[in-house]
């Protein structure tokens, strides 16, 4: 291995340099950085300004727009038309070199900035002695260039530079086969490489930014106030989930990372801020999957004097509005994403009570006993049948599972093992109804609710939840066993949760106490008793409705991303071995 060149002042040895072949490439790049210093050029410069009189600094997209009239129907450029479009003007561009080849006194460099790509057509005739300095440029370097617009023999818009200068020397080479990098572990762990190697990845994160911006606009236009609430709390509250725990040394306090901002936001309703929202990080110490990351971004808003019926309508309007704004911001990508979506959001969303979803799911299994029960008494009769058990064993239908699963292809697709486990953990009929929905209804929403074309699914609001599984939601006035709540599922993925808020302090205190009882009995995903929140409700909270939505899942939905890790820039990963 060749000896490494002298490091720059205060430079440190590279960490985890990797194989000897990779180290040789790093050494060669460091040698080029040394040569730059020997020519009194800084390989890590900061003076990025034009050096040619009259030269104009432009982003690549703006520069391309200047030459748009010179492009023919096939997307090719003719040199004389380019000259007509921009004259003899000199332009200054900056960006990263993503491709580089040389042949016979010509060098072709592909330059990318935040707006697009353009070719540098560098010739020895135009650059003179400075042309030899191109030998020190590698793929991955950041450079600046000044020159006039022209076109190559193949009709590609190009800059013919009079000078090219390295701004930042990339000391580490890009990974092998970095164009179209596919290795998932490398992509997530080295997102900085992924963004360069896969332009479509960067487009997803641009989309995420526009989605958040459009979400804010929708709420701001409705008179909402954006606020920030604590991410460290002395109690677990706002949702049913397992928290991360931490400790504050100065105050000697045991604290929890928030799982949801709900209880703080509703305190603001008490204080007279009638429409509030927050877009912020939440943390849940739970499993990792394609839909779950330990830290994620949540939108929650609370709307005084609204009911969950208002939110049903507004959710459809909001999601279509966000999607429309995304289309304006990224028209080409949005057109592709829209064409590839397996669902339709331009048609009315289905609105299905949970009990009805269970009844429909039970009928679809074609289990004769289930069909008879549903026909005679709906979901309640099905729950009673399942409670009766098998062979006289109350609450355990395990003995019938094998027979039931043979009734139809739908019955065979039911996750019977987990259905039974969930059923046995259920303590009341509300929890049993929810368990039946989780295994008989939710997994098949995509199949059962189709758009007019019969091919795509439509979003489904599941409504009328049992109060036993909704400790913060308001009971329905006519059916106190239910709460005014909905969840939205889009092509099988849960996206939103919303309900009319519980503002009766005594009812809320009872529900907190029930959560404490469950925690004492061994349940892990429960809330604490929040006495200060009860005190706030005793001061009076106006009738209100609240809404929560995962921003990561919304981005997945609108960009067709298969995993939540594809829309989080730096997802949590195990340490490198």
Per-residue pLDDT, averaged over 354-377, amounts to 96
Instruction: Look at the domain 188-341+493-577 and name its fold.
Output: BirA Bifunctional Protein; domain 2 (3.30.930)
Q: Which segment of 3-7, 163-167, 256-260, 291-295 scores lowest on mean pLDDT?
A: 3-7
Q: Where are the domains of the chain?
A: 20-173, 188-341+493-577
Q: Are 437 and 358 in contact (CB under 8 A)?
A: yes
User: What six digits make up the tokens of 558?
Assistant: 């609108």
How many C-beta neighbours within 10 Å does residue 309 have? 13
Angle between helices 551-559 and 199-220 (to 10 degrees): 120
- Give the span between the Cα atoms of 190 and 187, in whole angstroms: 5
What one-character-per-residue DSSP string does 341-353 give?
Answer: -SB-SSSPPEEEE
Residue 94: name the closest of 168, 173, 36, 37 by CA: 168
Per-residue pLDDT, averaged over 74-86, amounts to 93
DSSP state of 563: S
Q: Which segment of 113-127, 380-394, 466-480 scores lowest on mean pLDDT?
A: 380-394
Assign 10 a pLDDT band (cuts: 50, 70, 90): very low
Assign 20 a pLDDT band (cuts: 50, 70, 90): confident
- Give the span between the Cα atoms of 256 and 243, in whole angstroms: 6
Residue 7 has pLDDT above 80, yes or no: no
Model pLDDT for residues 221-252, shown as the tens digit of each residue = 999 999 999 999 999 888 888 899 999 999 99
What percentage of the chain carries pLDDT values higher than 70?
Answer: 95
Q: pTM for the complete prediction?
A: 0.89
CA angle 252, 256, 261 (to 5 degrees): 130
Residue 502 has pLDDT above 60, yes or no: yes
- Listed in sequence order, the DSSP H helices in 46-148 are 60-66, 79-86, 124-127
Model pLDDT for residues 325-355, shown as the tens digit of each residue = 999 999 999 999 999 999 999 999 999 999 9
Residue 231 has, within 13 A of its CA and on its CB side, a CA count of 13
pLDDT at 526: 86
Model pLDDT for residues 189-215, shown as the tens digit of each residue = 999 999 998 989 999 999 999 999 999
- Give the span between the Cα atoms of 553 and 565, in whole angstroms: 10
Residue 21 has pLDDT above 60, yes or no: yes
Give me the chain's average pLDDT, please.
92
Q: Are 301 and 276 in contact (CB under 8 A)?
A: yes
pLDDT at 45: 96
Residues 6+ apart with CB under 8 A from 437: 354, 357, 358, 361, 462
Model pLDDT for residues 23-36, shown as the tens digit of each residue = 999 999 999 999 99
pLDDT at 237: 87
Q: Are 482 and 464 in contact (CB under 8 A)?
A: yes
Model pLDDT for residues 253-287, shown as the tens digit of each residue = 999 999 999 999 999 999 999 999 999 999 999 88
pLDDT at 385: 92
User: What six digits make up the tokens of 266?
Assistant: 């509703």
Q: Are 96 and 142 in contact (CB under 8 A)?
A: yes
Residues 6+ apart with CB under 8 A from 409: none
- Give the span between the Cα atoms of 65 and 493, in whole angstroms: 40
What one-character-per-residue DSSP string does 478-541 give?
Answer: S-TTEEEEEEEEETTEEEEEEEEBP--HHHHHHHHHHHHHHHHTT-SS-----HHHHHHHHT--
Residue 6 has pLDDT above 60, yes or no: no
Q: Which segment of 377-391, 454-468, 546-560 scores lowest on mean pLDDT?
A: 377-391
pLDDT at 28: 97
First vs last C-alpha separation in the chain:
25
471 or 274, greater pLDDT: 274
Model pLDDT for residues 142-193, shown as the tens digit of each residue = 999 999 999 999 999 999 999 999 999 999 998 776 666 778 888 999 999 9
Residue 443 has pLDDT above 60, yes or no: yes
pLDDT at 3: 38
- Give the span between the Cα atoms of 514 and 511, in whole angstroms: 5
DSSP state of 133: G
Assign 525 a pLDDT band (cuts: 50, 70, 90): confident
Per-residue pLDDT, averaged over 363-391, amounts to 90
Residues 6+ apart with CB under 8 A from 129: none
What one-character-per-residue DSSP string does 257-306 give?
Answer: E-S-SHHHHHHHHHTT--EEEEEEEEE--S--BTTB-SEEEEEEEEEET-
Residue 13 has pLDDT above 70, yes or no: no
What one-character-per-residue DSSP string does 297-312 give?
Answer: EEEEEEEET--HHHHH
pLDDT at 240: 82
17 or 318, greater pLDDT: 318
SS3 assignment, position 148: strand
Parallel, antiparallel or unpaired: strands 544-550 and 493-500: antiparallel
16 or 547, greater pLDDT: 547
Widest pairwise Cα distance in the chain? 95
Q: Are 263 and 533 in contact (CB under 8 A)?
A: yes
Domain 20-173 in CATH 2.40.50.140? The answer is yes
User: What six digits make up the tokens of 89?
Assistant: 């003007």
Residue 81 has pLDDT above 80, yes or no: yes
pLDDT at 505: 96
């Amino acid at each position: 291995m060749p000896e490494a060149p002298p490091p720059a002042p205060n430079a440190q040895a590279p960490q985890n340099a990797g194989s000897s072949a990779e180290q040789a490439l790093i050494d060669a790049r460091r040698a080029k950085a040394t040569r730059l210093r020997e020519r009194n050029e800084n390989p890590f410069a900061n003076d990025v300004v034009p050096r040619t009189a009259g030269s104009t600094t432009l982003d690549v997209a703006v520069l391309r727009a200047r030459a748009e009239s010179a492009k023919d129907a096939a997307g090719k450029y003719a040199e004389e038309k380019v000259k007509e479009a921009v004259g003899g003007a000199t332009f200054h561009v900056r960006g990263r070199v993503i491709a580089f080849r040389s042949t016979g006194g010509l060098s072709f460099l592909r330059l990318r900035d935040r707006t697009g790509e353009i070719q540098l057509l560098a010739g020895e005739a135009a650059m003179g002695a400075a042309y030899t300095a191109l030998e020190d440029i590698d793929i991955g370097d950041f450079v600046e260039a000044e020159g006039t617009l022209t076109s190559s023999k193949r009709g590609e818009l190009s800059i013919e530079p009079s000078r090219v200068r390295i701004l930042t020397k990339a000391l580490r080479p890009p990974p092998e086969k970095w164009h179209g990098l596919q290795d998932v572990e490398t992509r997530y762990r080295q997102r900085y490489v992924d963004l360069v190697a896969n332009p479509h990845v960067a487009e997803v994160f641009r989309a995420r930014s526009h989605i958040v911006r459009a979400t804010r606009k929708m709420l701001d236009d409705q008179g909402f106030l954006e606020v920030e609430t604590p991410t460290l709390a002395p109690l677990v509250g706002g949702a049913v989930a397992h928290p991360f725990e931490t400790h504050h040394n100065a105050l000697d306090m045991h604290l929890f990372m928030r799982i949801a901002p709900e209880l703080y936001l509703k305190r603001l309703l008490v204080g007279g801020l009638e429409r509030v929202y927050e877009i912020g990080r939440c943390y849940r110490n739970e499993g990792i999957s394609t839909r779950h990351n330990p830290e994620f971004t949540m939108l929650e808003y609370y709307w005084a004097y609204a009911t969950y019926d208002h939110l049903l309508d507004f959710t459809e309007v909001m999601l279509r509005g966000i999607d429309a704004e995304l289309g304006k911001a990224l028209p080409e990508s949005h057109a592709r994403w829209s064409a590839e979506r397996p669902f339709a959001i331009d048609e009315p969303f289905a609105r299905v009570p949970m009990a009805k979803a269970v009844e429909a799911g039970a009928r679809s299994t074609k289990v004769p006993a289930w069909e008879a029960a549903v026909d005679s008494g709906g979901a309640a009769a099905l729950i009673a049948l399942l409670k009766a058990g098998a062979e006289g064993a109350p609450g355990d239908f395990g003995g019938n599972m094998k027979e039931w699963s043979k009734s139809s292809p739908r019955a065979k697709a039911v996750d019977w093992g987990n259905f039974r486990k969930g059923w046995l953990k259920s303590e009341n009929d509300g929890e049993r109804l929810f368990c039946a929905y989780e295994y008989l209804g939710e997994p098949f929403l995509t199949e059962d609710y189709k758009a007019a074309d019969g091919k795509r699914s439509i979003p489904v609001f599941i409504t009328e939840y049992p109060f036993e599984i909704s400790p913060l939601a308001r009971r329905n006035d006519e059916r106190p066993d239910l709460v005014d709540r909905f969840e939205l599922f889009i092509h099988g993925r849960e996206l939103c949760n919303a309900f009319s808020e519980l503002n009766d302090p005594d009812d809320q205190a009872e529900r907190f106490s029930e959560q404490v009882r469950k925690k004492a009995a061994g349940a892990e995903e429960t809330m604490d008793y929040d006495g200060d929140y009860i005190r706030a409700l005793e001061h009076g909270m106006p009738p209100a409705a609240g809404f929560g939505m995962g921003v990561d899942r919304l981005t997945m939905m609108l960009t067709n991303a298969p995993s939540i890790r594809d829309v989080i820039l730096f997802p949590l990963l195990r340490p490198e071995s």
